[in-house]
Amino acid sequence: MAEIGLFPLELVLLPTERVPLHVFEARYKELVGECLEAETEFGIILADDVGQRAIGTRAAVLKVLQVFDDGRLNIVVEGRERFRVVELTEGRSFATGEVEPLEDDLDPPEPEEIEHAVELFGQLVRVAEAEVDRPDPASESLSFELAARVDFGPELKQEILELRSERERLVRIAELLEHAVRGVALEKAVQERAAGNGRVTPQPRDPTS
């Protein structure tokens, strides 16, 4: 096991995902500063009203965008290996913990499961009219790469982070993508109808149904 600095946030960082962070608290400026100097990683872990989760992701600083006079930083981090907090430790101004890697079970997805998830992602991109690069279907981390490109929200992203096989993650992501496609399509249809006459016209309903 290794001890790393922990950065509890109300967000989930997935492996391969890149996110910007604004670091303003003194203790986390210290943590990030040490990681930059030693070229090491820190752990990002979800902390919200439910509490602090046990599973998080190691974060590597890819780029320092801006350093302010008071020491605040704007940085970009990339998600690396997942970990489980075995025990919280003390002694530093920032949170620390003994962690162990979170390994996947050997359960690869079937080709049709990969194809289905990628196709649903393409449908979502089209219906949302978004400009998003497509991940490589052959990637060993396809599930994380797909999930990192959709704003599922922290709770669902944490669920995906904690799943223990690529197959489980792809099947779950396909379910979420299918729901998202329907939701975006419905929202666009409502907007188009409302723009047509200032009112939303309900779809005709079969009285016998």
Residue ranges making up the domain that contains 158? 111-197
Are 79 and 170 part of one and the same domain?
Answer: no
Q: How confident is the model at residue 201 (pLDDT cuts 50, 70, 90)?
A: very low
Looking at 101, 136, 162, the residue that finishes a domain is: 101
pLDDT for the residue 189:
73
Looking at 66, 101, 136, the residue that finishes a domain is: 101
Lowest average pLDDT, out of 82-86, 184-188, 190-194, 195-199, goes to: 195-199
Are 10 and 70 part of one and the same domain?
Answer: yes
In a domain, 143, yes or no: yes
pLDDT digits (tens, 9 = 90+) for 94-114: 999 999 999 999 999 999 999
- Biggest distance spanned by C-alpha atoms of the chain: 71
Distance set, CA 119 to CA 33, 114, 177 (Å): 42, 9, 10
Phi, psi of 206, rounded to the nearest 5 degrees: -70, 115
Distance set, CA 147 to CA 13, 141, 185, 204 (Å): 10, 10, 19, 36
pLDDT digits (tens, 9 = 90+) for 66-101: 999 999 999 999 999 999 999 999 999 999 999 999
Residue with tokens 């790393």: 4
pLDDT digits (tens, 9 = 90+) for 128-150: 988 999 999 999 999 999 999 99
- The pTM of this model reads 0.87
Residue 188 has pLDDT above 90, yes or no: no
Nearest to 147 by CA among 127, 124, 128, 131: 124
pLDDT digits (tens, 9 = 90+) for 155-172: 999 999 999 999 999 999
pLDDT for the residue 202:
52
Count up the domains in the chain and report the number: 2
User: What are the structure tokens assigned to 184, written together?
Assistant: 């975006």
Are 97 and 43 part of one and the same domain?
Answer: yes
